[in-house]
Structure 1
Amino acid sequence: MTGHRLPLPTRDGVGPSCVGLPAGPWPTIAEFLVERFPAITRDAWMARIAAGEVIDEHRVPVTAERRYQAPLRVYYYRTLDAEVPIPFEEQVLFRDEQLLVVDKPPFLPVTPGGKYLQQSLLVRLKRKLQLDDLVPLHRIDRSTSGLVLFSVRPETRGAYQAMFPERRIAKHYEAVVPWRAGVSSVPDTYRSRLVDDAHFMRMKEVPGEPNSETRIVVQQTLGDRALLLLAPITGRKHQLRVHCMALGMPIENDPIYPTLLPENTDDFDKPLQLLAKSVAFKDPITGEPRSFASPRSLSLAPR
């Protein structure tokens, strides 16, 4: 929020979560929170309330007896009892007053969600760099490694965010895929219509006007594997992964395509072979050309 401070400060890299109180029959705010978030025990909520860690939008503490009042926004800290540590470190590649450019390891989500909180790139960076206003300008999948750009200052955030929907930023990825001897060609450009699949984790192709476009270059082949250079022109969810699968070349070690693997089956020795390798753009504030590249690279060397 530009020019607005949240009722609770960032704590250990985690900003406060917010829930709006709808119209309803709850006698107290505490009773609503217990019912609304069943994964958090009543005792845990009461402990947070007693510690002054549940605050309304006016910075008034929520007490155990405080009557229910809608509409009202309530802020609290999200916590997880235990997180599986991601055994890879991010690397800050560039930092100035406006931008932070980071190389993300595989398996680490960009933002908190589900079973990931401290083990997310945003919270790690906020905690280490003491940048409470840090916000990612775009996302890459948890499984994908490579470049992520962050906005440091709320005042200039909108100018950088606009580059993505307006396609004023060039992004290139590397991917390792299976290769069949005798393949005559891969299309220079692949387009299709992507929509949500029945499972929330997946996307699928359907007939109709294309809404996704990827440019493809085969950089190298070696035996039964190939290294592709992929340039997404659009930014649909899982676009590169679905396009490669549709061409009969699912990206190596993909836990979602073509087969969705069960949850909690991460194999840290087999990361997805998809790398957000480089970005280039004209800086919307200074007008200067900017380009960044990940120090990582994918290889067709024998496994």
Structure 2
Amino acid sequence: MPSTTPKPNQGWIYTDRVNPKAAGQTVLDFYSQRYLHSDRQAWQERIEQGQIEVDGKAVDPTYPLQAGQTLTYWRSPWVEPEVPLQLPILYRDEDLWAIDKPSGLPVLPGGDFVYHTVLEQLKIQYPQESLFPLHRLGTGTSGLLLLGRSPLGRRELSRQFREHICRKIYRTIIGSCTLPEQFECHQAIGKIPYPQLGYIYAASSHGKPAQSYGRILARSPEKTWLEVEIRTGRPHQIRIHLASLGYPLLGDRLYGPGGVPINCRTARPSDGGYTLHSYQLGFLHLHTQQAIKLTAPLPPELITPEVKTIALETEKH
């Protein structure tokens, strides 16, 4: 029988440019203070083994950096975590595509995920195309993701996102709640200190404005199905906003009541366990200026009891 042991990837080169604030730091200080996922000893060993170069040359850990220099860190091949890699296409034209991103698949490289990301899988699965994600979805979030295919598509859709022309509607589940049938949240979101990562986004009085508008779809004694439209695109906005209202997403291991982390020792933003789905995206066609509304199929857990009942009655007729 063929081996089912996962194969290592091809390794990866991470690049940094030394800014004026970092000038004068040693190479070791730069990495150990900037990238807290590894301790100082681990970074020293990598530098001494030649995995880190400055302007293409291996250096000593105590080498002082100068503004404008380029740092490269060669990470040797490793086995990436197994995640769904399917990218169903929901819409395409000459300027953009829309795909249905699976939950668990990161959009951009980071941490242990490089090739197992939307960005790299697009290059692997569609090598003849030039596709780039126009917005971010969290690793645990599924559903609609727009991709720029042409320079016009990237430029104009990015503008529509920036100017809040695009409508973004999500579906999710929280526990039993006393929220009204329609509600809104304007809690500001910003960076707060966080162990190992340096910082994390959370509810913060010093953050940037954020706007979310929710609607109850169905209730049960244990669950509440919601539809949420976000007018701003702050990181983890829906998770933070619902938690700030006292109702974190079911299964969210990071954000608790108040919209702040509840488990600072082990939880990370990329942790899954919750259900959040990019359900609808509305935007203006780049050439005709007509309104386009795309919808992604709902995962089974987001089909509300009412929708299930209607589907059964339709089948009988």
Instruction: Normalising by structure 1, report the TM-score.
Output: 0.72
Q: Paired residue for 2:231?
A: 233
Q: Which of 259, 264, 277 does residue 275 from structure 1 map onto?
A: 277
Task: Could you tell me which runs of 5 or more consecutive residues in structure 1 were left unpaired when the two chains were aligned.
Answer: 1-11, 27-31, 57-61
CA spacing shift, 1:262–1:272, aligned 2, 3 Å: farther
Tell me the amino acid that sits aligned with residue 211 of structure 1. P
| Contact preservation (8 Å) 1:13, 1:123 | no
Q: Paired residue for 1:213?
A: 211
CA spacing shift, 1:74–1:246, aligned 2, 3 Å: closer
Cα distance, 1:184 vs structure 2: 6.6
Distance 2:269 2:81 in 1: 11
Distance 2:46 2:137 in 1: 29
Q: Which of 165, 188, 192 does residue 193 from structure 1 map onto?
A: 188
- Relative to structure 2, which stretch is displaced further, 247-256 or 167-176? 247-256
In the TM superposition, 1:39-78 aligns within 5 A as 40=46, 43=49, 45=51, 62=56, 71=68, 73=70
Q: Paired residue for 1:170?
A: 167
**Percent of aligned pairs sharing the same letter:** 24
Cα distance, 1:163 vs structure 2: 0.7
Q: Paired residue for 1:59?
A: none
Distance 2:252 2:170 in 1: 15
Q: Identify, as 1 or 2, the structure richer in helix.
A: 2
How far does the alpha carbon of each residue in 1:112-140 deviate from its partner, in whole angstroms, 9 at most, with x for none? Answer: 01221112111111111115742211101
CA spacing shift, 1:125–1:264, aligned 2, 3 Å: farther
Tell me the amino acid that sits aligned with residue 96 of structure 2. L
In the TM superposition, 1:220-259 aligns within 5 A as 220-258=218-256, 259=262
Q: Which of 99, 102, 110 does residue 113 from structure 1 map onto?
A: 110
Cα distance, 1:189 vs structure 2: 2.1
Cα distance, 1:24 vs structure 2: 6.5
Distance 1:134 1:77 in 2: 26
In the alignment, structure 1 residue 91 sits paired with structure 2 residue 91:
no
Cα distance, 1:70 vs structure 2: 7.4
In the alignment, structure 1 residue 161 sits paired with structure 2 residue 158:
yes
Task: Could you tell me which runs of 5 or more consecutive residues in structure 2 were left unpaired when the two chains were aligned.
Answer: 1-8, 33-42, 60-64, 257-261, 306-317
Cα distance, 1:290 vs structure 2: 2.0
How far does the alpha carbon of each residue in 1:226-249 deviate from its partner, in whole angstroms, 9 at most, with x for none? Answer: 100100011112211111112222
| Contact preservation (8 Å) 2:108, 2:119 | yes
Q: Secondary structure in 1 aligned to 2:143?
A: strand
Distance 1:240 1:262 in 2: 23
CA spacing shift, 1:139–1:15, aligned 2, 3 Å: farther
Distance 2:66 2:228 in 1: 52
Distance 1:190 1:25 in 2: 43
Tell me the amino acid that sits aligned with residue 117 of structure 1. V
| Contact preservation (8 Å) 2:91, 2:98 | yes
CA spacing shift, 1:20–1:237, aligned 2, 3 Å: closer
How far does the alpha carbon of each residue in 1:52-87 deviate from its partner, in whole angstroms, 9 at most, with x for none? Answer: xx9x7xxxxx4769xx99745577876642211114
Tell me the amino acid that sits aligned with residue 285 of structure 2. D
Cα distance, 1:286 vs structure 2: 3.9
In the alignment, structure 1 residue 81 sits paired with structure 2 residue 63:
no
CA spacing shift, 1:40–1:234, aligned 2, 3 Å: same
Q: Which of 254, 260, 263 does residue 260 from structure 1 map onto?
A: 263
Q: Secondary structure in 1 aligned to 2:170?
A: strand
- Relative to structure 2, which stretch is displaced further, 282-291 or 271-280? 282-291
- Structure 1 stretches (4+) deviating beyond 4 angstroms? 12-17, 21-26, 39-44, 62-65, 68-80, 261-268
| Contact preservation (8 Å) 1:143, 1:271 | yes
